[in-house]
Amino acid sequence: MSAIQAAKGTRDIFAPEIHAWQHLEGAIRDYYGRYLYQEIRTPLFEHSELFSRGIGDQTEVVQKEMYTFRDKAGRSLTLRPENTASVVRAAIENNLFEALAPLRFFYIGPMFRYDKPQKGRYRQFHQFGVEVFADDAPQVDAEVIFSAVDFLRGLGIAQVQLELNSVGCPNCRPAYLKVLRQAAQARSADLCEDCRRKIDGNPLRIFDCKQHACAGIAAAFPVIGDHLCPECREHFAAVREALSWMNVPFLLNPRLVRGLDYYTKTAFEVTSGQLGAQNALLGGGRYNDLIRELGGPDMAGIGFAAGMERLVLHLEHLAAPKPKVLFVATADPRWLAHAVQLAQVLRSEGHPVYVDYQSKNLKKQFKKADRIAAAFTLVLAEDEVRDGAVSVKNMATQEQVKIPLKDLNAWLKQNT
Ligand SMILES: [Zn+2]
Ligand SMILES: [Zn+2]
């Protein structure tokens, strides 16, 4: 029979790579705990409408990349392509606005997009992200952005660079879109087919086009920064000022627009020159209308999401701390009960312990101990059991010492 393979765009994660994932997840929990963020876990699938309303009908994600299916009752469900809409939905549904304060969430988990798989990019991929629901004080933007940059640096990622823009608000964006549409219309013959379609729908998306010709043309298009309303302009200036208090250098990128429709005002991306062409590590921004549009109170929000696969690629070289494994070997099945009980005690004291149940050939058991990289093999044989002791063999030096069981824990504390 032919073996079944994982679905295209998915992959298995196991040791040693899994250590980098665990390290990253631990670092997220630790770091964001210091800012009073609480973890939230939302379902992997939601009603499709949440994403078409939340992310925007005209976005690439909703139009092309969603895993949407009907369940047996005929409901349209979608595997979450991102997590912000779900977190907002969860806060509204559970009325967390009343119950949890401050409203600061982080999440870690898989997302799903029907995208072209390539190196480091999967259809089931992982993101961690944060969401802050509060007023739209510009210092909140700066704190969120600072935390993103500081967290990445703390992981040891070098050449971290922050790009910043304001994408305006419903007061100023429509007028800007009109100007942008006119400019795009004038060059429509030279734009790719995809971009021509975006002119009427969402011309901002033209700035995302990877085609060289389109990028060149879009470089001459008007930018939102010249069309911001006074409120957006002031907010953006205050964000930049607060970033300077925090000593976060940034690059203004007037063509930075985010791929999802819900962003207002601040938008940002963090890249690392260390990671080559596909260097975007995380992106986010403010979404002041999303909570209200999804049926919640009139409350502002800001957040970002980071691709974990890329972070893990970077972290993989970190050697995982290796616990000293103890291997319990018995020379005769008669001592198996002693072995099992010894292992129980050792594990309760915090040691990783493997018991071998072959209990015949000691030489074979030593070989096995080597294969699982045990630091010590604890041998129970006639003499040891009679004397209430155990022989401990150091697998690296081959030295063996006999230690009374009552002294074993103290000895291991000194030697592991
Ligand atoms: Zn505005
Ligand atoms: Zn294009």
User: For residue range 366-383, what is the model confidence (pLDDT) as tens digits?
Assistant: 999 999 999 999 999 999
Contact 309, 13 (CB under 8 A): no
Q: Lowest-confidence range among 120-124, 294-298, 374-378, 393-397? A: 120-124
Please give the Cα distance from 290 to 265 (Å, whole number): 13
37, 91, 94, 288 from 99: Cα distances, Å: 14, 10, 9, 21
pLDDT of residue 57: 80
* CA-based nearest residue to 257, from 216, 229, 214, 224: 224
Q: How confident is the model at residue 321 (pLDDT cuts 50, 70, 90)?
A: low
pLDDT of residue 320: 65
In this predicted model, what pLDDT tens digit does every residue of 267-280 receive, in sequence order? Answer: 999 998 876 655 78
Inform me whether the pLDDT recorded for 2 exceeds 60: yes
pLDDT tens-digit map of 24-82: 999 999 999 999 999 999 999 999 999 999 888 878 888 889 999 999 999 999 999 99
**For range 91-114, the mean pLDDT:** 94
Q: How high is the pLDDT of residue 16?
A: 87
Closest CA to 325 of 244, 259, 237, 416: 416
Calculate how far, in angstroms, residue 215's C-alpha sits from the geometric centre of ligand 2: 7
Nearest ligand to residue 195 Cα? 2
CA torsion through residues 139, 141, 142, 143, sign: positive
Tens-place pLDDT, residues 144-172: 999 999 999 999 998 899 999 999 999 99
From ligand 1's centre to the CA of 287, what distance in Å? 13
Tell me, what's the pLDDT at 138?
97
Name, in order, each residue with C-beta under 8 angstroms of 107's C-beta and a sequence gap of 6 or more: 39, 40, 41, 42, 83, 87, 127, 128, 129, 130, 131
- Return the CA Rg of the chain: 28
> Which helix (H) or strand (E) segment is 284 a member of?
strand 280-286
Cα–ligand 2 centroid distance for 80 (angstroms): 27
Question: Each residue of 163-213: pLDDT tens digit?
Answer: 999 999 999 999 999 999 999 999 999 999 989 988 988 888 898 888 889
Say if strands 353-355 and 67-70 run parallel, antiparallel, or are unpaired: unpaired
For residues 82 and 113, what is the distance between their CA atoms, to the nearest angstrom? 9
pLDDT given at position 46: 98
What backbone torsions phi and psi does residue 312 show, to the nearest 5 degrees?
A: -65, -40
Predicted confidence at residue 375, as pLDDT, reads: 96
Residue that has been written with the tokens 């409350």 in this structure: 299
Tell me the CA distances in angstroms from 390 to 321, 331, 336, 393, 407, one per residue in order: 27, 12, 13, 10, 10
- Name the token pair of 345: 């005690």
User: Quick one: pLDDT at residue 58?
Assistant: 75
Distance 194 CA to ligand 2 centre (A): 6
Instruction: Name the pLDDT band for 315 (thresholds 50, 70, 90).
Output: confident
CB under 8 Å to 38, separation ≥6 — which residues? 100, 104, 105, 106
Domains of the chain (ranges; CATH) run: 17-172+228-315 (3.30.930.10), 326-415 (3.40.50.800)
Distance from Cα 199 to the centre of ligand 1, integer Å: 21
The model's pTM is 0.89
Residue 285 φ/ψ region, left for φ over 0, alpha for ψ in the -120 to 50 degree band, beta for the rest: left
Round to whole Å and give the CA distance between 20 and 32.
18
Q: Name the more confident of 62 and 408.
A: 408
Query: Closest-lying ligand to the alpha carbon of 232?
Result: 1
| 294 has a pLDDT exceeding 60 | yes
Residue 406 pLDDT: 94
Percentage of the chain lying above the pLDDT 90 cut: 78
Q: Which ligand is nearest to the CA of 205?
A: 2
Q: Which amino acid is located at 303 in the chain?
A: G
What share of the chain has pLDDT > 70, as a percent? 98
CB 71 within 8 A of CB 5: no
One-letter identity of residue 39:
E
Q: In angstroms, what is the span from residue 145 Cα to ligand 1's centroid?
A: 20
User: What's the 233 CA to ligand 1 centre distance in angstroms?
Assistant: 7
**For the purposes of burial, counting CB atoms within 10 Å of the CB of 317, is it exposed (0-12), middle (13-18) or buried (19 or more)?**
exposed
Say which residues have a Cβ less than 8 Å from residue 392's Cβ, sequence separation at least 6: 376, 377, 378, 379, 400, 401, 402, 403, 408, 411
Given pLDDT bands bounded at 50, 70 and 90, which one contains residue 402?
very high
- What is residue 319's predicted lDDT score, i.e. its pLDDT? 64
Burial of 257 (0-12, 13-18, 19+ CB in 10 A): buried
Task: Mark the residues whose beta carbon lies below 5 A from ion ligand 1.
Answer: 168-169, 171-172, 229, 232
Q: What is the DSSP letter of 345?
A: H
